[in-house]
Amino acid sequence: MKMKTDFTKLVPEITRWNNGQGVSISDWIQMMGDYAHAVGYSVVFWPSFIEKDGCVFRADVTNHSQCFKSCNGDRQAIESTVNHIHLCDLHCNDTAGNTPESMQYLASILKEIYTCKLKRDFPHKTFTVEVYDDPSGPILTFFQMEKK
């Protein structure tokens, strides 16, 4: 059973709304969000993938060719390198919201999303989706598992 997320700890601002009575995370999004950001987030939160030379990449990434050379053709290394996302880079200017708790929450959610989306888009392939700890924050990546 999955634990319920306490959004008041992840987004403390929601407790200050409604004369200090707080609002739900959904109400806060409704009041503070905008469609341009929602469209941008869709690329990260429900990514499109492409296949190239036996590799699977996020469609929004374009540096495949450089990695083929630098990784000496190692498909797992190529995919892992090209597909990695530093979560702290999602919002370079939001140092206040970049807490370890919010980064871990996002990493956990993105790992679930990428696992589901890859399985849906490539039902005959097996992927590993991983989150690595880094001093700057979590790094999400994925790569295909070699068939044995």
Q: What is the pLDDT of residues 42-73, one digit of tens each?
A: 999 999 999 988 899 999 887 766 666 777 77
53 sits in the region (left: phi over 0; alpha: psi -120 to 50; else beta) called left
pTM of the shown model = 0.88
Mean pLDDT of the residues in the chain: 89
Counting as low any pLDDT under 70, the low residues of the chain are 1-3, 64-68, 147-148
- Give me the half-sphere count of Cα atoms (radius 13 Å) on the Cβ side of residue 122: 19
Distances (CA, A) of 125 to 4, 75, 107: 32, 14, 23
